[in-house]
Amino acid sequence: MKSQALKKLRRKLQQYEAVYGLWVTLESASITEMAVALGLDWVVIDAEHGHLDWRDILAHVRAAVRSDTVVLVRVAELNAGLIKRALDIGADGVVVPWVETVSQLTQAVSYAHYPPNGLRGIGAERATCWGQCLDEHVQEADENVLVVPIIETVEGGRNIEMILDVPGVEIVFFGPADYSSTAGYPGQWEGPGVAEAILSAKDAIRRRGKYCGVVATGNDNLIERRKQGFQMLGVGLDGGLMLRSLRGALGVVDRDRKIASGFTLESDASALETPVVCAPQSMRPDRMEVMNEVGSGSMIELEPGVHFECLVGAHNDARKLTTGLVTFAPQAALSYHRHTFGESITLLQGDATVEVEGRRYKLDRMDNITIPRGLAHGVMNNSNREPAVFSVMMASDKPARTLVDHPNSRRAMPNDSQGYPGGEYVTRFKTAPRYEPGPNASFIDFFNRDLIPDIEMSGGYGVFQHGGRLPAHLHDFDESICIIEGNATCIVEGREYNLSSNATALQPRGRIHYFINHTHEPMAMLWVYAGPMPERLVVDESCATAQGNPWQQSPVVGERP
C-alpha cells in the first residue's frame, strides 16, 4: 500500500482540486506504466468486466509501485474474498460495484479493514511484504485504505443520503450506463431523467463533505464534469481512448470506419450480401410507392414564421414515419417542446441554432442533430435576413408535441461538439466518417441504434457520382428518401421516376427499388428508415424490372394496382 500516494490524493481533494485517472480494462501492464509516467493521480483496474485475471491485476499493481499514482481494483461483486485478495496483492483500495444499501456498503468497509474494526484476514502476501511488515501494514492499511462504492442503480440513488452515513467512505463513484438501464433505458449512457438524478445525488454527496467520481465520455465531457463538481475524474477507458485516437487518425485520411458487432467493417457489409432470387412472402407489400414534389404536401404553421410541409406521413399511408421540410422566417423560433418519439433535424439552408435541455448547438449547413424521445428542445433562425430550411424526420406517423418551459440553465456547446452522452447526437457533416455501400456512392450515418441506443429509426446522407447506385433491394419497414442535390432516377419494380429539388419518395415496406445517378453531376439524398438499423435485403436485379415477378405468386387480395 502506498500511504503517501493516498495522502497526496486526499490533500488534493480536500483543497477542491480535481484528481484525474484512467480506467484500465486491457491486460498490458504498460498501460498503467504510461499512466504513472504521465502523472495521473489514480488508476482503476477493472476486474468486474472484461477478461483480466489475477496475474494481470498483479502486473498492473506492480507497474505503479513507488509512485504517486493510487491503484484501485474494481472487484467483480461485493465479496469478502475478492476484496481481501485485491488488497493483499497491494492495491491501495477497492471499487465496489452495484451498491444500493447501507448494509452492502457497511459490509464492503468491514471487508477492507482488519479486526477489531473489520473482518479482513491477515495474509503473508505482497501487501505485508510477505509477512515481514505485519504490524506496520495493519496500522497504515486501516488508516489509509480507500473503499469506493459505485452508485449505478435508481435504488442506490434514492438511498444516497443513508449510504453517506456509513463511516469510512470518502469518495462515491457513479455508473451512468447501468443507472440508465435500471431506469428503463438500457443501452443509453444517461437516459431521460438520469443525468438530473446523478447530479442531484452528487450535490447531496458534496453537501456532506465527500467527493464524487465519474468517467468522462470525451474531452468536452471531461471539462463539463469538472464544472459540475465531480473531482475524481476518469479521462476514459484505455480501450476507448485507443479507439478514439485510431479513428481520429484514420479520419484525417478518410479511412475511418465504424466497427460492427461481429468485428467487421461496416463498409464490408455490402460485399457480404448475396442477392436472393425472389423476395420472401412475409415481406410482400400492401401499398404502392409515392413520389412527392415540394409544394404537394400539406402545410402547417407550427408557430408564427415557422411552416412545416409534410411530404411523407399518414396522408400518404406511411407507417411509423413522418418527414418533410420546415422553413423558418428570419429570426423565427420554435418554442421548447418534446415528443414521445425520436426526431432528426438536418440544416439544408441558413444559419440556425438548436437547443436541447439547455445545450445550445450552432449548426452549419448539412449538420444533423438527432434527439431521442422525451428530450425538450427548441430551434431558432439566427439570421434577420434569410430563411432557414430544415429536413425533419420523425419516428411516428402521428406526430405531436408538448410545449415545455425553457430550462433555467443554458450554455453554448463547442462548435465541434458531437452531442451529449445518453442524449442528443450531433453529426458534423464536414468531419463525419464516410463509407461506400455501393459503386460511386459515399454515405454518412446520422443516426441508428448503434449511435443512439434508444432511437427507433435510422438514417443519414448519401451522395452518388455519375453511375452511382445501390443494388436492387427492399426493407422490412417504410423508407423516405429526399433528393437534396442533383437529379435522381428511382426504379421501383420497373416503374421509373425522376426526382430533384427536395422531392421525396415514400418506399413502403417490401417494395423493391434502387436509386441511380445517370447525370454527370453529383446527386445527394437524405434517407430514413422506420427501423432502428439500416437493414436491407438485396434481391436479383430482375426483381426490379417490369418483366420480373419478385413474389412469384399472384397479387395479394386488396393490393393496390
Give the domain ranges of the chain. 3-247, 291-385+395-410
Reference 519, options 497, 479, 487; nearest CA is 487
Is residue 148 within 8 Å of residue 172, measured between CB atoms? yes
Nearest-10 Cα torsion for 396, 360, 258, 194: -70
CATH superfamily of 3-247: Phosphoenolpyruvate-binding domains (3.20.20.60)
Q: Give the residues across from 382 on adjacent strands.
A: none
**What's 444's DSSP letter?**
E
Kindly state the cell numbers that stand for 364.
452549419
- Report the pLDDT value the prediction gives residue 276, as an integer from 0 to 100: 79
Q: Which residues contact 206 (CB under 8 A, 6 or more apart)?
A: 212, 229
- The domain 291-385+395-410: what is its CATH number? 2.60.120.10
User: Which residue matches cell numbers 405468386?
Assistant: 553
Neighbours of 325 (CB within 10 A): 21
Return the SS3 of 263: coil
Averages of pLDDT over each 10 residues, the chain, 561 residues: 96 97 97 97 96 96 97 97 96 98 98 95 91 90 96 97 97 95 83 90 97 93 95 96 86 67 48 69 91 95 97 96 98 97 97 96 96 96 96 96 91 91 93 85 94 94 93 94 97 94 97 94 96 91 78 39 27
> What b/e string do you get for 42-56 counting C-beta neighbours within 10 Å, with b at 16 or more?
bbbbbbbeeebeeeb
- Report the pLDDT value the prediction gives residue 416, as an integer from 0 to 100: 87
Which residues are catalytic, by number? 49
Nearest-10 Cα torsion for 458, 462, 468, 471: 0
What is the CA 489 to chain-centroid distance, rounded?
35
The CA distance from 266 to 488, in Å, is 25
- Report the pLDDT value the prediction gives residue 187, as an integer from 0 to 100: 72
- Alpha helix segments (H runs only) across 411-534: none
Is residue 426 within 8 Å of residue 418, measured between CB atoms? yes
Cis peptide preceding 433, ω within 30 of 0: no
- Alpha helix segments (H runs only) across 229-362: 238-252
Q: Which residues contact 88 (CB under 8 A, 6 or more apart)?
A: 123, 125, 126, 127, 128
Rg (CA), the chain: 28
Neighbours of 541 (CB within 10 A): 14
Kindly state the cell numbers that stand for 129.
511484504
Reference 472, options 554, 551, 542; nearest CA is 542
